[in-house]
Structure 1
Amino acid sequence: MNKIYYYIASVLILLTGCSQSSHLHISTTIEAPWQMVTNTVLQNSQTASALSLTINTADTGQVIEGFGACFNELGWDALSFLSEEDRNEVLQELFQPGKGANFNICRMPIAANDFSRDWYSYAETPNDYAMEHFSIKHDKETLIPFIHSALKFNPDIRIWASPWCPPTWMKTNGHYASRYQRNCRNDKFRNGLFLSQEGHEGTDMFRTDSIHLNAYALYFQKFIQAYRKNGINIFAVMPQNEYNSAQVFPSCIWTANSLAKFIGSYLGPVMKKEGVEVMFGTMERPHYLQVDTVLQNPSATPYISGVGFQWAGRKAIGEVRKRYPQMRLLQTEQECGNGKNDWKGLLHSWDILKHFMNNGVSIYNYWNMALLEGGVSRWGWAQNSLAVVDSTRHTYRWTPEYYLMKHVSHFVSPDAHYIKSTGEAAQKSISFVNPDGQIIIIMVEEDGQDQWIEISASGKEKKMVLLRANSINTICL
């Protein structure tokens, strides 16, 4: 998109704002992202086909804490192909308040994850129970400058962290991976794991004796302290990414009982000393009873301030919300697509976003902020991202999923409330009310035809808005 046009459109949107007496309508299509919709004329013949949307601002749900994505090594590597000016444009668009996506709560890995350059941990010296050789030197090349660059545009970003894998000597198989690569034909993607080292769901791949659990809690503490010394505060941790999943990349299977033990007797007390929250997750299975196992553990539950869900964990979140209505809920990783960054991927992301918002999440995190064209990881699988970088031309572009995120996060303020809606268009929308009373409605037209919507909201005049065919829309009342 032409940068000058984009800048002018953004300024006009900011100047227009969302007033109490008028409405603002921003629309994105494949051909024309982020445009103000004006001068649409409703014909009499179209009135009968308009879909209704009724919003009751008194029927509120969860308080929204914010939106963000994950700081990954390959994201920083991708942005490093850009000029300093363009890299700052990307970061400003993602993080500067009032500019673009307004991201304010983000995730990061504790050492390597599947979108790191390769495997590493902060303590690979075997049996270093006292963490005498602990070091975050590796992160000073990528993750730390990535985060510092974002903090330059928003010093108030809140960051939570989770490991994908502990140091290899803490695992029963002595390897960072947990699954054998059966059909890997490219040597550069191989993890080197033998079939005999493969892990199995429902078991513990972490060595759950007290010596290793205590050392691992110290590992977390050293991470918190080291990052703090580098000017980065971590407000919360989760004990394990996708604790049920044996992956070909850095991963570690735990049972829910062992995680409860780790949180209650080791991680929780240490993090409390550091002033850092512990949240349970990430939950990637539809098994709400596993969450029960942890939240009903008398030692663990006093330390848990939230529960995070991703992927198939979305099928468990509804039941967890019913059982624990006061618990903070997070969507911890937007399903990552296939590297094509197309409109089909956006529509899938929209369904996920609606589901999680309708089921009570207060924090919503996308996954990769930026990747090179194709989005291929060290372990050979392609994923989507918010920005795509061309390493040959040293240019970047925003993807459809970026605009989906921006259509929500640009307008929905921290401390906004999710609000319920009814009517024929309710399934096409999610709605919020900001602390100042502004109503924010996000709608996606995915049937391929223009559609009029009649919006009724308490305390507001009725509005007729036109959704263009195949478009994302934000209506601000």
Structure 2
Amino acid sequence: MSARRALVLASLLTLGAAPSPAPVRAWLTSADGAQRLAPVVVSRPQRGATTITVDAAKRYQSMVGFGAAITDASAILIQGLPPARRAALLQDLFGRGDGELGLNFTRLTIGASDFSPEHYSFDDMPTGQRDPDLARFSIAPNAKTVLPTVRQALAIDPGLVVMASPWSPPGWMKTGDSMVGGVLNPADYGIYARYFVRYLKAYAAAGVPMRYVTVQNEPDFSPKDYPGMRWPAIDRARFIGRDLGPALAQAKLGTEVLEWDHNWDQPEQPETVLTDPAAARHVAGVAWHCYAGDVAAQTRVQVKHPDKDVFFTECSGGGWRPGWKTGFGDTIQRLMIGSTRRWARGVLLWNLALNPKGGPHKGGCNNCRGVVTIDPATGTVTRELEYYALGHLSRFVAPGARRIATTSTTQLPTVAFRNPDGGLVLLAYNATDTAASLRVASGRHPFGYSFPPGAAVTFAWRP
């Protein structure tokens, strides 16, 4: 008998539990961050424990995965690391080996976002000049940082799912002739659809096929100091139904369109697009952000349009959610549990990596936090609370897993999955101010666990 197995058995006996016929493994992150995905030992259920029933026979959406955006800022910092450190970090983030994070979903920006050192598109023109034939189109601005980073991630995980979102069309397509502010000229809708196709073909040729695109990041917000624009739902529907959808179908790229890509507070916007028959024909699902509204909006739209997928595509950590208790708890409750319980097939956080000052960026957020922080002066990598929140599912829920039924309460929210190999995964969070005892009922072998307030625990077992 190995020393490790003997220790586990001794711990079980100390807790008064016999070894389970179906061993349950568990990992805990505490509210203060002192324990971070730390292995813990389950026990026999205690009297008075809250029963969480897991029903693997009742299945919901299949999962694409979990991840974060490879922005310009993230790619610049990652590529700035020495080769060995870069390789080790990417292996840790995208590998699926023991202890690795297992991210398998990422988001790119089509041109600049606020987390770009400069504002650019893939077809910039001098003020007052146009390029309707897209003769000057080029993805060269991504050649040194974004493309190498994504390709290296794909080398680690060839199944990595990539999506992309534009913050703005090229300025010459917009009123005001600028990527900041303005709106897309209706006369340029057809040109802009061809711009999408050129981007997708260029990335595919570079070894990065794109599974999904959205037509506009946060289309109900026009930033004052970085690329963006408002784009009303009725006009997005027109663009998707008449221009982009047919262009993508003709190109046969296999890229699907996700609508909205904005907050939970305006479900009527994606509903407007999905009630347009021409647009709905080309829309695969709806993408959501966390910055306003309630996650229940995802269910509202899914119930009305059950044939459309749900994705959660952006939420950033930052100074407005300081500390482990607030930031970690919010990420676990609203995103990892809340979003997936409300039909999300994938969960994406914002920047994969930022520097200690929350950059580099030009405009926009000045106190955002990445999944990891990279200090370019020293090459030091710090894994932030978002890293561990993602890890509570990304390490254990495999692509193609199905969400399954589980009881959940406001005090003890949960979500569960059945992996393709038959293994079960349960994530539970103690949202109370006191210790909580669980009795997990699944098949013939219930198990128990008591965990402190503000802590999250992931259980994995075979029924």
- Shared fold per TM-score greater than 0.5: yes
TM-superposition CA deviations, 1:245-266 (whole Å, max 9, x none): 1113210111111111111111
Q: In the alignment, is the contact (CA less than 8 A) between 1:416 and 1:433 conserved in 2? A: yes
Q: Which runs of 5+ in 1 are unaligned?
A: 1-7, 13-18, 179-198, 200-204
Match of 1:464 among 442, 448, 455: 448
Indicate the larger mover: 408-417 or 420-429: 420-429
Supply the distance in 1 between the matched residues of 2:369 and 2:429 (Cα, whole angstroms): 20
Tell me: CA distance 1:470–1:285, structure 2 relative to 1, closer, same or farther (3 Å). Answer: closer
1:175 is matched with 178
Match of 1:323 among 298, 301, 304: 304
Code of the residue aligned with 1:215 in structure 2: it is I
Match of 1:157 among 157, 160, 180: 160
Q: In the alignment, is the contact (CA less than 8 A) between 2:64 and 2:345 conserved in 1? A: yes
Match of 2:232 among 244, 251, 255: 255
Q: In the alignment, is the contact (CA less than 8 A) between 1:339 and 1:384 conserved in 2? A: no
Question: Is the aligned partner of 1:297 residue 2:297?
Answer: no
Supply the distance in 1 between the matched residues of 2:308 and 2:372 (Cα, whole angstroms): 33
Give 1:54-453 correspondences, 5 Å limit: 54-99=53-98, 100-125=100-125, 126-178=129-181, 205-209=183-187, 212-248=188-224, 249-274=226-251, 275=253, 276-284=255-263, 286-311=265-290, 312=292, 314-338=295-319, 342-343=323-324, 344-353=326-335, 354-376=337-359, 377-379=361-363, 381-422=366-407, 427-447=412-432, 449-453=434-438
Tell me: CA distance 1:129–1:402, structure 2 relative to 1, closer, same or farther (3 Å). Answer: same
Tell me: CA distance 1:41–1:220, structure 2 relative to 1, closer, same or farther (3 Å). Answer: closer
> What secondary structure sits across from 2:382 in the alignment?
strand
Supply the distance in 1 between the matched residues of 2:205 and 2:402 (Cα, whole angstroms): 35
Tell me: CA distance 1:227–1:465, structure 2 relative to 1, closer, same or farther (3 Å). Answer: same
Supply the distance in 1 between the matched residues of 2:431 and 2:116 (Cα, whole angstroms): 35
Code of the residue aligned with 1:396 in structure 2: it is V
Supply the distance in 2 between the matched residues of 1:423 and 1:386 (Cα, whole angstroms): 27
TM-superposition CA deviations, 1:352-401 (whole Å, max 9, x none): 21221121111111111111113143215221211111233221111111
TM-superposition CA deviations, 1:183-218 (whole Å, max 9, x none): xxxxxxxxxxxxxxxx6xxxxx11112xx1111011
Tell me: CA distance 1:238–1:121, structure 2 relative to 1, closer, same or farther (3 Å). Answer: same
Q: In the alignment, is the contact (CA less than 8 A) between 1:306 and 1:329 conserved in 2? A: yes
1:3 is matched with none
Supply the distance in 1 between the matched residues of 2:59 and 2:332 (Cα, whole angstroms): 21
Q: In the alignment, is the contact (CA less than 8 A) between 1:171 and 1:252 conserved in 2? A: no
1:476 is matched with 460
1:221 deviation in Å?
1.1
Indicate the larger mover: 297-306 or 312-321: 312-321
Q: In the alignment, is the contact (CA less than 8 A) between 1:430 and 1:441 conserved in 2? A: yes
User: Structure 1 length normalisation: TM-score?
Assistant: 0.84
> What secondary structure sits across from 1:246 in the alignment?
coil
Tell me: CA distance 1:424–1:316, structure 2 relative to 1, closer, same or farther (3 Å). Answer: closer
Supply the distance in 1 between the matched residues of 2:314 and 2:409 (Cα, whole angstroms): 30
> What secondary structure sits across from 2:155 in the alignment?
helix
Supply the distance in 2 between the matched residues of 1:298 and 1:41 (Cα, whole angstroms): 54
Tell me: CA distance 1:476–1:285, structure 2 relative to 1, closer, same or farther (3 Å). Answer: closer
1:426 deviation in Å?
7.3
Tell me: CA distance 1:104–1:382, structure 2 relative to 1, closer, same or farther (3 Å). Answer: same
Q: In the alignment, is the contact (CA less than 8 A) between 2:316 and 2:370 conserved in 1? A: no
TM-superposition CA deviations, 1:382-425 (whole Å, max 9, x none): 21211111233221111111111011011111221212222668
Q: Percent identical across equivalent pairs?
A: 27
Supply the distance in 2 between the matched residues of 1:20 and 1:127 (Cα, whole angstroms): 70
Tell me: CA distance 1:429–1:27, structure 2 relative to 1, closer, same or farther (3 Å). Answer: same
> What secondary structure sits across from 1:222 in the alignment?
helix
Query: Root-mean-square deviation (CA), in Å?
Result: 2.3
Question: Is the aligned partner of 1:28 residue 2:29?
Answer: yes
TM-superposition CA deviations, 1:205-247 (whole Å, max 9, x none): 11112xx111101111111121122111112211111111111
> What secondary structure sits across from 2:151 in the alignment?
helix
TM-superposition CA deviations, 1:58-88 (whole Å, max 9, x none): 2322111211211111112222443222221
Code of the residue aligned with 1:467 in structure 2: it is F
Q: In the alignment, is the contact (CA less than 8 A) between 1:342 and 1:399 conserved in 2? A: no
1:97 deviation in Å?
2.6
Q: In the alignment, is the contact (CA less than 8 A) between 2:76 and 2:146 conserved in 1? A: no
1:331 deviation in Å?
0.3
Tell me: CA distance 1:217–1:259, structure 2 relative to 1, closer, same or farther (3 Å). Answer: same
Q: In the alignment, is the contact (CA less than 8 A) between 1:52 and 1:424 conserved in 2? A: no
Tell me: CA distance 1:423–1:386, structure 2 relative to 1, closer, same or farther (3 Å). Answer: closer
> What secondary structure sits across from 2:66 in the alignment?
strand
1:101 deviation in Å?
2.2
Deviation beyond 6 Å, 4+ runs, structure 1: none
Q: In the alignment, is the contact (CA less than 8 A) between 1:78 and 1:389 conserved in 2? A: yes
1:134 deviation in Å?
0.7
Code of the residue aligned with 1:112 in structure 2: it is A
1:163 deviation in Å?
0.3
